[in-house]
A and B are shown apart, each in its own frame.
Chain A
């Protein structure tokens, strides 16, 4: 299975993602933001980081970079596009997924492990996972998901919430919300569920001795689903 990780000026999780994808069997290519053509891919990943120094709004400049038009076309034709952290911010700025990511509620950069609950497994990313609650890492300043009431209704009607912040038992109470995100939302799909944006970093949880293994389950399963 072929994957592409896009590197923008200021991306800093691109190589972590490359390591993670290769570890679980993807043939990954790194793609520069200024390229016009996307290599043939089964999965495109927009990685975390601080593209364009987070100038103007996080992800706003990257969303207009050259490679994005090919990625938007790829997504519109049903291709799998996953945005992690800054990648999620880029996705909302392209309009591929609804909503925006505001500054964290208490104005602090949050860097810690959190639990997330998978809400909807009827998609290529999560189907066949044998558990619902995962421990992932978050590291962001703008992860406070927000959308209009009309958008929220549409998101809920179409089951577009991918993951919620929760505790280790899957309780999605407001007190387990790290950043003020609307309804504890940590990740969102597009309508067709081929585009996924999420704040947590599964690529940081791929080694038992370093962090944890929940990312390993996610990537192994993803590869099997795409095969």
Chain B
């Protein structure tokens, strides 16, 4: 089963890459932007057919490796 997870920087953590992307978009004419935050997206194919269990496995991965919880939040966003 394929599980997707998104890792984003916590709100109070500075995201210099997001800022630069914001400036570039602004320079290209995309004027209506308040803020850009960059994150990471993972698709993980786990050998588990029960969606609840599969999500739990990926959540454990997020806690232990994929995210650093001092600065990042994770969100399991879907199953396939």
Chain A: residues with CB nearer than 8 A to chain B?
56-57, 60, 64, 93, 99-100, 102-107, 144, 146-148, 151, 180
Contacts and interface: CB of A to CB of B under 8 A. Distances in A.
Contacts of A102: 13-14, 71
Contacts of A144: 14
A148 B16 CA distance: 18
A103 B16 contact: yes
Contacts of B14: 102, 105, 144, 146, 180
Contacts of B16: 103-107
Contacts of B45: none
B50 to A, nearest CB: 26
Nearest to B67: A57
Interface string B3-28: 00000000001101100100000000
Interface in B40-70: 65-66, 68, 70
A107 B24 CA distance: 14
10 contacts: A57-B68, A102-B13, A102-B14, A103-B16, A103-B17, A104-B16, A106-B16, A107-B20, A146-B14, A151-B70
A67 B59 CA distance: 25
B17 A60 contact: no
Contact of B70 (A64, A100, A103, A104): A100
A146 B71 contact: yes
Contact of A99 (B17, B65, B70): B70
Nearest to A103: B16
A3 B20 CA distance: 43
Candidate in B16, B17, B66 with the most chain A CB atoms within 10 angstroms: B16
A177 to B, nearest CB: 13
B68 A93 contact: yes
Nearest to B10: A148
Contact of B71 (A64, A100, A106, A107): A100
Nearest to A107: B16
A100 B16 CA distance: 15
A60 B68 CA distance: 9
A105 B14 CA distance: 8
A102 B20 CA distance: 15
Given A102-B14, A105-B16, A146-B13, A56 B71 contact: no
